[in-house]
Amino acid sequence: MDFFFEPKGVAVIGATPDRFGGGRNLLINLSLGYDGSIYPINPKYEELFDKKCYPSILEVPDPIDLALIFIPARAVPAVLDQCVARGLRGAIIECSGFAEIGAEGKALQDQCLSIARKGGLRLWGPNCMGLIDLSKKYVFSFIQPESWEGTFNPGGVSLIVQSGLLSGGFITTLMDNKTLGLAKACSIGNKCDVEETELLEYFLRDPATKVIAMYLESIPNGRRFFDMARSSQKPIVVLKGGKMPSGARASASHTGSLAGNYEVARGALEQAGVYPADDFFEMVDMARCLEKGFPLPRSLERKPQIAVLTYSGAAGIVTSDHLENYGLALAELSPQTLRRLEEISPPWMPIKNPVDFYPTMEQMGQRKAYEAGIAALHEAPEVDGIIVHMFPSAGSKTTKLAQMLSRIPESGPQKPILFWVFGSGEGYENTRLTLEELGYPVYFEIHRLTKIMARLFEGSQRITVSALPALPEIFVFLKEAIQNRGKTGHRVLDEQESKKWLKAAGLTVVEETSAGRLEEVVSAAERLGYPVVLKGVQEGKVHKTEAGLVKLNLNTPEQITTAYQQMVETGNGRPASFLVQPMLKGDLELIAGIIRDPQFGPAVMLGLGGVRAEVYKDVVFRLAPLVQKDVHQMVTKLKGQALFKGFRGFKPVDMDLLAQWLIRLGELAVSFEQIQEIDVNPLLIVDGKPIAVDASIILR
């Protein structure tokens, strides 16, 4: 990637004097910061903006290794042929008219990529706005020079975006706001060649980049992205576009349909320790907060404990509501902390969290009150983070802010301190900018501030990367079974065979007997003991309940006979065989499974199961292989997580056994690439232990 960011010479193909032309902006932007050789390319002109203009890239002298292209899309292939002939290493195609417009544009884009790959030329884009490097003042983009010159605020945040929006108007808006410290911004558009994982790898090595923020609509190399993000020492913030599915995934299993268009990606990003964002400004707010470098605990066995220092009781109440909504808790202040705050407060004012400090401000002045209050909360061991409310007057002096924060150590432990600053005019602006310069993020909305605080602690709980587990000896049976199944051509395993595979992998499954004739079914029921469950097995049939092939709680031979005859006479065809199982009484019905995602590979699913699994859709995914802590985090992400701890007299789930179950399920998918999906529904919890009651396996 070095020749994109540090080229020895740059050609602008499509350079023009046209005031509204992208080629004009590219040329001027280069001239304002780039210190290498610049070559305008346009056969219509001999000179542009005091630079010699060349009719073709073939006539450009050395040194040169990068072309910026802004010409009609249909002319691009011929120009790329010339770039290859000239020996260029890279080209950034910033014009549109390619895959984003449909099949014809996609064919044109593929033609460009074919030319580039044959000639050893790397392509960036097309349909993008190039790159910006503020540390060098390089602007390889067609944004208007007037919109950025003099407004850029250098810093440690680098952006990788799949849209031109963030390299254009959005970035200039942020720069004008003077809060985002930008290192580099890369707009990769259709990413026909250069894609996000290559740039992520570059930024992980880049000394100017402290935080990486990304807007992505797709992650084709999902597994590589996951591995890099999970091992990254730099924070990564991702805004994923296309979260809402346009339609259910076509799949025979619950697992496949519940995976949707986004659920696997969301689980993978959470598992990798990526900081998620829900909109553009939240992505930037998160990134600029992470750039401050607040040390955070790597493991918390409780909710993060937050102290709120406010001048308004109402603002304190609203903040408390948002804290609970985002999984944070109001810190219970210790007697020592309360005593410190009471010593500087009026005797009639009770102190609790949120700490209403307005009477204290009236008594000793705003600066001294904030200084003492912030110091007391920062030094309190029971407090993990602090939210400060501030209403600056019109003539607020910025020097006072530094004094307010002077008792926070410059080195050593520094808890996150986020400010909600409310107001307008010069006092507000001075306060906001000064706090940002001092290293304390400022927000205008309480809900955004508390959400960012919650994201900080969520992202800090990164799990150590685990090695791929060794293939257990019990999987030897499955090797042979998969080979034999491949010869028959059958893709969907019936319930009985699926559970044989699970049992061979060391997973607990329900006891059952296979039978054909009615008398065999009755005999099996009497041997197992009433009540029993009767299931009809048909090849390729996964959803048996909807087909009338499951009868529960049968207590007599007469009930079995009736159920048997109903299944035989059903319009769906006679079952090939029948399964008789004991009617287990469980405390909780879960659903577990495997989906082999085209971007991220094998992923394990856990959720609330039973016949309503696809109604509630309370599921979470993690990429295989899993470790025990992955499973515990999966449970915390479920809306029904309270059910795992025991509910209204039911026994709690044995989390160690559940973790072992899901870890082994993940090993199964990692070890056998032929497995496309596994569906275990329900995974019944009996006396705290997981047992597979029904299952299906779909092969690739």
The pLDDT value given to residue 425? 79
What pLDDT shows up at residue 674?
A: 87
- Of the ranges 87-101, 532-546, 646-660, which one carries the lowest mean pLDDT score? 532-546
**Per-residue model confidence (pLDDT) at position 488:** 55
* Helix or strand run (H / E) with residue 215: strand 211-216
Q: Are 350 and 383 in contact (CB under 8 A)?
A: no
Picking from 579, 541, 542, the residue whose alpha carbon sits closest to that of residue 563 is: 579
Model confidence, pTM: 0.88
- pLDDT score at 247: 39
Average pLDDT over residues 99-106: 94
CATH fold, domain 466-508+585-700, is D-amino Acid Aminotransferase; Chain A, domain 1 (3.30.470)
Residue 277 CA neighbour count, 13 Å, CB half: 25
Q: Write the CATH number of the domain with boundaries 1-127.
A: 3.40.50.720
> Residue 687: what pLDDT?
92
For 317-321, 377-381, 607-611, which range has the lowest pLDDT when averaged over its residues?
607-611
Three-state SS at 524: helix
Regarding predicted confidence, which is higher, 395 or 604? Answer: 604
Contact (CB, 8 A) for 274 and 239: no
- Considering the segment(s) 511-583 as one domain, its CATH architecture is 2-Layer Sandwich (3.30)
Quick count: other Cβ atoms within 10 Å of Cβ 226?
22
At residue 334, the pLDDT reads: 97
What pLDDT is recorded for position 63?
95
Domains in the chain: boundaries: 1-127, 130-296, 300-460, 466-508+585-700, 511-583
The DSSP H or E segment spanning 648 is none
Tokens standing for residue 6: 């540090």
Contact by Cβ (8 Å): 184, 209: yes
- The pLDDT, as a whole number, for residue 616 is 74
Q: What is the pLDDT of residues 248-298, one digit of tens each?
A: 344 445 555 555 568 899 999 999 999 999 988 899 999 999 999 888 776
Q: What percent of the chain has pLDDT over 70?
A: 87
C-alpha pair distances (Å), 164 with each of 5, 156, 189, 360, 411: 18, 21, 7, 50, 39
Beta bridge partners of 696: 679
Residue 559 has pLDDT above 60, yes or no: yes
Taking only the tens place, the pLDDT of each residue in 219-237 is: 989 999 999 999 999 999 9
Confidence of residue 485 (pLDDT cuts 50, 70, 90): low
pLDDT category of residue 117 using cuts at 50, 70 and 90? very high
Over residues 576-605, mean pLDDT: 93
What gap in Å lies between CA 581 and CA 50, rounded to an integer? 86
Q: Name residue 187's amino acid.
A: S
CA 35 from centroid of its chain's CA atoms? 38
Is the pLDDT score of 197 beyond 70?
Answer: yes
In this predicted model, what pLDDT tens digit does every residue of 425-474 receive, in sequence order? 788 888 888 898 888 999 999 999 999 999 998 876 666 555 545 555 55
Q: Which CATH number fits domain 300-460: 3.40.50.11690, 3.40.50.261, 1.10.3720.10, 3.10.310.10?
A: 3.40.50.261
Decide whether 130-296 matches 466-508+585-700 in CATH topology.
Answer: no
Give the long-range contacts of residues 639-647, CB within 8 A, separation 24 or more: 640/608, 640/616, 643/588, 643/608, 644/588, 646/587
Mean pLDDT: which of 51-55, 371-375, 388-392, 414-418 is highest? 51-55
Q: Mean of the pLDDT values across residues 598-602?
A: 92
At 657 the pLDDT is 95
Segment 607-626 shows an average pLDDT of: 84
Average pLDDT over residues 94-112: 95
pLDDT at position 23 over 80: yes
Residue 399: the pLDDT is: 58
pLDDT score of 250: 42
d(CA 276, CA 479): 39
Q: Of 37-41, 182-186, 297-301, where does mean pLDDT reach its minimum?
A: 297-301
Which residue has 């295989």 as its token pair? 624
pLDDT at site 145: 83
Name the range with the highest mean pLDDT among 483-487, 535-539, 636-640: 636-640
Write down the CATH superfamily of domain 130-296.
Succinyl-CoA synthetase domains (3.40.50.261)
**String of DSSP letters for 454-496:** HHHHHHH-PPPP-PPPP--GGGHHHHHHHHHHHHHT--EE-HH
Range with lowest mean pLDDT among 95-99, 145-149, 198-202, 651-655: 145-149
